[in-house]
Amino acid sequence: MKYSYYPGCTLRTKAKKLDAYARASAKVLGFEMEEIENWQCCGGVYPLSGDEIASKLSSVRALNEAKVKGQELVTLCSACYHVVKRVNDDMRNVEDIRLRANNYMKLDEPYLGETEVLHFLEVLRDRIGFDEVKKKVVKPLTGRKIGAYYGCLLLRPSEILGFDNPENPTVMENLIRALGAEPVIYPYRNECCGGYISLKDKELSKNMCDTVMNSAESFEAEMLITACPLCQYNLTKNAQSDVPVIYFTELLAEALGVKEEVDANGSF
Amino acid sequence: MHGIGVFVCHCGSNIAATVDVKKVVEMAKLEPGVVHAEDYQYMCSEAGQEKIAQAIKEKNLSGIVVCSCSPRMHEATFRKCAEKAGLNPYMVEIANLREQCSWIHKDIEEGTEKAVILTRAAIAKVNLNTSLEAGESGVIKRALVIGGGIAGIQTALDIADAGYEVDIVEKTPSIGGKMAQLDKTFPTLDCSACILTPKMVDAAAHEKINLYTYSEVEKVSGFVGDFTVEIRKKARYVNMDKCTGCGVCMEKCPSKKAKSEFNSGLSNRPAIYTPFAQAIPNVPVIDPTQCIKLKTGKCGVCEKFCQAGAIDYKQKDEVITQKYGAIVVATGFEVIKLDNYDEYAYSQSKDVITSLELERIMNAAGPTKGHLERLSDGKPPKNIVFIQCVGSRCAENKGKSYCSKICCMYTAKHAMLIRDKYPDVNVTVFYIDVRTPGKNFDEFYRRAVEEYGVNYVKGQVGKVAPQADGSLLVHGVDLIDGKQLKISADMVVLAAAIEPNPTVRNIATMLTASIDTNNFLTEAHPKLRPVESPTAGVFLSGVCQGPKDIPETVSQAGAAAIKVVGLLAKDKLMTNPCTAKADELLCNGCSACANVCPYGAISYEDKLINDHGIRKTHRVAVVNSALCQGCGACTVACPSGVMDLQGFSNRQIIAEVDAICR
Amino acid sequence: MSLTNEEFRPKIVAFCCNWCSYAGADLAGSSRLSYPADVKIIRVPCSCRVNPMFILRAFEKGADGVIICGCHPGDCHYSTGNYYARRRMTLLFSMLDYVGIERGRTRVEWVSAAEGVKFSQTMNEFVETVRSLGKNVRLGDLRCKN
Amino acid sequence: MEASKKSRSEMVKEISGTNPLKCMKCGKCSASCPSYEKMDIKPHQFVSYVINEDVESLAKCDSLWVCLSCFACVERCPRDVKPGKIVDAARQIVIREKGGSYLVPDEIPELIDEDMPQQLLVSAFRKFRR
């Protein structure tokens, strides 16, 4: 099975691990992520204003490329997923944006939101299945207590993203279970880490990250996993906690037995 | 001799403000056949009706058009008025100038223009009206009440006391409904069971009332005065005649893992059970999904211990057919599912409960024997937070659009009872508005605040976060103080919205009773006919019509009963004369009409027909006017166009079309 | 809101069943939910009473659009009437389309007694559609135009 | 002056695509907001200010720069008002005007550190500058 793959800017720079472990894991799980050719940065945040077109076009280009190839479009970074999927929803349902974006793009055939956008976690859950993932585990993470941190971008607005239950998500917990570890369920796993605010207001982000980390610690999480480079940065940098926060793909690669290989080849 | 009279009503200023009534009168006078036209302030008033009667007599009118409000409002009034003046009541047509014109158009020129056209159409139609005679049909002196909660019980008691037979069909094993689950009732705090159980006993003992518990309505046919209903009596596996209600079977049953419906799933019950100790009838049922004997063939403990020999594993469902003159829907409500409100952690913590679950916890017969304790660890809570409007008053995609009406009051009741019995427990109520219309209701709520020290906070809760130590951190806002609050609670109670019992959809379809987008049954008129369905012979009692508390339900139940009694007291009902009729001369007996008739009202006879002197016998369609309900399906199906509907004939409707398009 | 001569005012005939849609129209009225005065309602007991002949007649006499409103499927007061209406109108409308009466000029809509909002919205939309299609010239009776 | 005030609140409604009149003033947005303490005009007040056509005050407030677009308010709003989109629309109105930016390139070298992901910078640029 081949998917179109949209890595996004951070996965080429500060979050190379998120990308490398995912690719290696995909190979083990029997699917391939074919990087689309001329991708550009998604912009990090979805432009909420209904009257903005230009900032949505990079997503449309990526979406259209996947459409031309007849593939589903996979992302790893929460922000890319959020932005690309919401733009896709606009292209499906918002007449004005669809019209203006297509007028600007001048594609051979107008793009009408045909592409299906999937997060890597959705591929694991809905295309591969956690039972299959479990079968491929060679180093089960038995005995480890791991918390998932979802943040905002994967879950909200659920009406459009439809990723998981926005108030009580389960996909990463099920992944943790499939890898042989014990998921730690704590209430702030869907609360914001502060996001881009940490550029100008570290204090605010720090408060939020502490709430998350303290809560996870109180439920005895030894480690947190996340899909978002910004969350990973904020939780690691801005919270006073020793609990490590790593990408979910690293955990996956570890359990599938390909982590060392990636580490040996990678230059992180 | 043709002579049409036109009567234009001002309806005070309701019509006259946006329709130039004088102009309508002038224009009407120009229409063919019109010999009289006038306007008046209120045509439906006695003076207005007198004007109509006088004109009919003086000008010897053959038909009248009243330009007024909707025919659904006053058609009957004006028909009666015409009849009194000696005109056939079916020679009356209404032009709906209020609902369809003056109320929706703001421009007087535009409104008047439309009013003239609507009047013109009505005149064109009435020119072709023919005198019709209403037939008669009998009334079966028996009523059916669907639902055995307080609404159904009260309706049945009131009908039975008036001397008519009533059957109650209740789908659960006992009558009593939601009220049986409640601990205390507002605003008097008397015990729910103490006031309900005597009524249940009365209903069971009443010689005119017959209970079909553990039964469901399966099929309904017929019409007002003469409904035929099939009722499925589900197999109880217990012989009702033999069972003494000793309860030994329930004690001995080895399968005890089913969730008790009565205790809102907070405790377990055996496979053979009565829902609660005061159940009526006090005869258990065997839940076939739980019974080991019925599932595997091995067990039979209850049979062994039953001294009365009442257990019958071979019992089958039984379908009985019964005839009724009137049907009352009293299907009540359920609490909504809370899947979409996971921010309140209902699915994540045992200590986040609904108000109905709290009722069971506070009830002496409940899962905790009436002790207020946390379901997670049995510890007494010290801080309780109530959250109002969970799923009520929402945008369409977020929940129920309506106010559930009862939550403000029952929350005040719960808060008060807790503070009364456990003065050291802190109670906080997050509210958006406190709605307490009702006698002694606001006073009741004020007592909760002023005498019992319940902390009411204006604002909502955004999240309930279950903590590692088992407490619940409630993230709320106090809009008055302008503060975000984080309250550590050990119990959170959600005032979840109520919705009509899901079975009501199916029942409404069987009864052809209309239902709104929230699955509440529609009343015939929201103000003037609140307990009647638009479908004749079907009446509404309790929450199936809209959210209401116990006193309101009981009053509505009584009102529905008196409407039923009023119907059953009649010996004959006038039937709708607007029925289908075939032109025997042209009918060729092809059966197309009978195939589409939902009532089986069309049959075929070989008739001797005199066609311009040529006598011959041929097969023609004959409509049984007692069965025909006048839908008109057959008129369109007829390939030769000989089937017509009286009162809505092809010529009449075409005349209306022509008048509108002219 | 005075009308200019240029503004096209279509003639619209709306057949409404007595039990649901006529009541829905009444509710739209009592809730003061406006829709264009171009719509004129004819009350019929059930949507199944609407003979295709009536619709042809309307177009013949100069109607620009015809809409039939009935109870929602499954909610018909006469159990099955709206199903007959739906089937008949599907056939009729495709035939009308064939002779040049655009689909936009004909419509079947289910409006319950509780849906005043839907009634008004439906009429607003329908009138807008018919307005955009302009005057109907097909099927018109060309004899003795006055 | 009156006219331009009005048009600004209309602009907020247009850009955000929301209808503030749907608000029932329950405050669930403010109960959910992680930046509440740092906001001078609270999320529920944002909705009210737009209804009352006082976008001037919104344009001057600090809340614009501490809203995280985390969408907790949008997700939980029982009336589907989407307060977060209203905040963002007000922010758009400010940054689209000359001198409205909250972030200037010159200050960036001081703000960043070695581990900071690119995502953070592009997001901040999008939110704080035109």
Q: Where in chain A are the domains?
A: 2-120, 138-257
Mutate to test the interface with D, among A17, A39, A49 (most CBs of D within 10 A): A49
Predicted local confidence at residue B508, as pLDDT: 93
Cβ atoms of A230 and A196 within 8 Å: the answer is yes
Residue B19 pLDDT > 90, yes or no? Answer: yes
- Report ipTM for this prediction: 0.89
Q: Which of C33, C57, C112 sits opposite B657 (nearest CB)?
A: C57
Q: Which residues in chain A land under pLDDT 70?
A: 267
Kindly report, residue by residue over B114-131, the tens digit of the pLDDT: 999 999 999 999 999 999
Residues 6+ apart with CB under 8 A from B483: B477
Whether C83 has its CB under 8 Å from any CB of chain B: the answer is: no
Q: Count how many Cα atoms sit within 13 Å of the Cα of residue B239 in the half-sphere of its side chain.
A: 12
Residue corresponding to tokens 């007198």 = B50
Q: Chain D residue closest to A52 (CA)?
A: D15
Cβ atoms of B51 and B20 within 8 Å: the answer is no
Among A71, C39, D24, A157, residue whose Cα is nearest residue B105: C39
Q: Which of A166-175, B20-29, B172-181, C69-78 has the lowest mean pLDDT?
A: C69-78
Cβ atoms of D12 and D93 within 8 Å: the answer is yes
Q: Which of D22, D26, D37 sits opposite B460 (nearest CB)?
A: D26
Query: For chain B, which residues lie within 8 Å of any Cβ of chain D, measuring from their own Cβ?
Result: 343, 389, 393-399, 432, 458-463, 475-477, 479, 482, 484-485
Q: Count how many Cα atoms sit within 13 Å of the Cα of residue B583 in the half-sphere of its side chain.
A: 13
Predicted local confidence at residue C4, as pLDDT: 45
Predicted local confidence at residue D1, as pLDDT: 44
The distance from CA A23 to its chain's CA centroid, rounded to whole angstroms, is: 14
Buried b (16+ CB within 10 A) or exposed e, D14-39: ebbebebeebbbbbbbbbbbbbbebb
The span from the CA of B467 to the CA of A187, in Å, is 7
Which chains reach chain D with 3 or more Cβ–Cβ distances below 8 angstroms?
A, B
What are the two backbone dihedrals, phi and then psi, of residue B486, each rounded to the nearest 5 degrees? -125, 105
Kindly report, residue by residue over D19-69, the tens digit of the pLDDT: 999 999 999 999 999 999 999 999 999 999 999 999 999 999 999 999 999
Q: Chain B residue closest to C72 (CA)?
A: B514
8-state DSSP, A25: H
Q: Which two tokens stand for residue B80?
A: 């009666």
Predicted local confidence at residue C2, as pLDDT: 41
Pairing of strands B190-191, B426-431: unpaired
Residue B1 pLDDT > 80, yes or no? Answer: no
Q: Which of A45, A50, A204 sits opposite D123 (nearest CB)?
A: A45
| DSSP 3-state of B49 | helix
The span from the CA of A238 to the CA of C109, in Å, is 58
CATH numeric code, B142-234+317-332+515-568: 3.50.50.60
The span from the CA of B657 to the CA of B124, in Å, is 9
The answer to whether residue C17 is domain-embedded is: yes
The span from the CA of A56 to the CA of A104, in Å, is 11
Q: Which of residues 91-120 of C touch B (CB under 8 A)?
A: 112-115, 120
Cβ distance of D72 and B398 shorter than 8 Å: no
Cβ distance of D31 and B459 shorter than 8 Å: yes
Q: How far is CA A19 from CA A23, A71, D123, in A?
A: 6, 19, 20
Mutate to test the interface with B, among C42, C60, C105, C120 (most CBs of B within 10 A): C42
User: How would residue B108 be classed by pLDDT, with cut points 50, 70 and 90?
Assistant: very high
Instruction: Note the pTM of the prediction, 2 decimals.
Output: 0.89
Strand spans (E) along B90-243 = 92-96, 136-138, 142-146, 165-169, 184-185, 190-191, 209-212, 215-223, 226-233
Burial label for C137, CB within 10 Å (0-12, 13-18, 19+), is exposed
Predicted local confidence at residue C3, as pLDDT: 44
Q: Which of A14, A50, A157 sits opposite D117 (nearest CB)?
A: A14
The span from the CA of D11 to the CA of D31, in Å, is 27
Cβ atoms of B636 and C51 within 8 Å: the answer is yes
Pairing of strands B258-259, B268-269: antiparallel
The span from the CA of A156 to the CA of A142, in Å, is 32
Burial label for A229, CB within 10 Å (0-12, 13-18, 19+), is buried
Buried b (16+ CB within 10 A) or exposed e, B5-41: bbbbbbbeebbbebbbbebbbebbeebeebebbbbbe
Task: Report DSSP letters for A166-225, one per residue.
Answer: SSS--HHHHHHHHTT-EEEP-GGGGS---GGGGGT-HHHHHHHHHHHHHHHHHTT-SEEE
Q: Which residues pair with B485 in a beta bridge?
A: B476
Predicted local confidence at residue D5, as pLDDT: 52
Residues 6+ apart with CB under 8 A from B205: none
Q: How far is CA A142 from CA A160, B194, B546, D91, in A?
A: 36, 57, 54, 48
Cβ distance of D115 and A196 shorter than 8 Å: no
Q: Which two tokens stand for residue D57?
A: 């005050």
Whether A102 has its CB under 8 Å from any CB of chain B: the answer is: no
End-to-end Cα distance, chain A: 28
The span from the CA of A253 to the CA of A250, in Å, is 5
Tell me, yes or no, if the two domains B142-234+317-332+515-568 and B580-646 fold the same way.
no
CATH numeric code, D2-97: 1.10.1060.10
| Domain around C19 | 12-133
Q: Which of residues 36-65 of C touch B (CB under 8 A)?
A: 37, 40-46, 48-54, 57-58, 61-63
Residues 6+ apart with CB under 8 A from B141: B164, B165, B325, B568
The span from the CA of B229 to the CA of B220, in Å, is 5
Residue C6 pLDDT > 70, yes or no? Answer: no
CATH of B580-646, one of 3.40.50.1980, 3.30.70.3270, 3.40.50.20, 1.10.10.10: 3.30.70.3270
Determine the topology of domain B335-499 in CATH. Answer: FAD/NAD(P)-binding domain (3.50.50)
The span from the CA of C40 to the CA of C11, in Å, is 8
List the domain boundaries for chain B. Answer: 4-126, 142-234+317-332+515-568, 248-305, 335-499, 580-646
Cβ atoms of A102 and A92 within 8 Å: the answer is no
Please tell me the total count of domains within chain C: 1
Does an interface of 3+ CB pairs under 8 Å exist between D and B?
Answer: yes
Kindly report, residue by residue over A166-221, the tens digit of the pLDDT: 999 999 999 999 999 999 999 999 999 999 999 999 999 999 999 999 999 999 99
Cβ distance of D117 and A230 shorter than 8 Å: yes
The CATH number that applies at residue C27 is 3.40.50
CATH numeric code, A138-257: 3.40.50.11810
Q: Measured between CA atoms, how close is B635 to chain C, in angstroms?
A: 7
Q: Measured between CA atoms, how close is A7 to chain B, in angstroms?
A: 32
Q: What is the location of CATH 1.10.1060.10 in chain D?
A: 2-97
Q: Which of B96, B514, B650 sits opposite C19 (nearest CB)?
A: B514
Predicted local confidence at residue C79, as pLDDT: 84
The per-residue pLDDT of chain B, averaged, comes to 95
Kindly report, residue by residue over C56-102, the tens digit of the pLDDT: 999 999 999 999 999 998 888 888 899 999 999 999 999 999 999 99
Mutate to test the interface with B, among C31, C71, C84, C143 (most CBs of B within 10 A): C84
8-state DSSP, D22: G
Determine the topology of domain A2-120 in CATH. Answer: Glutathione S-transferase Yfyf (Class Pi); Chain A, domain 2 (1.20.1050)
Cβ atoms of C14 and B96 within 8 Å: the answer is no
The distance from CA B578 to its chain's CA centroid, rounded to whole angstroms, is: 27
Predicted local confidence at residue C145, as pLDDT: 57
Residue corresponding to tokens 């177009």 = C59
Q: Chain C residue closest to B93 (CA)?
A: C43
Helices (H), B317-366: 355-362
**Angle, alpha carbons B11-B17-B18 (nearest 5°):** 110
Domain B4-126 falls under CATH 1.10.3470: no
Q: Count how many Cα atoms sit within 13 Å of the Cα of residue B639 in the half-sphere of its side chain.
A: 6
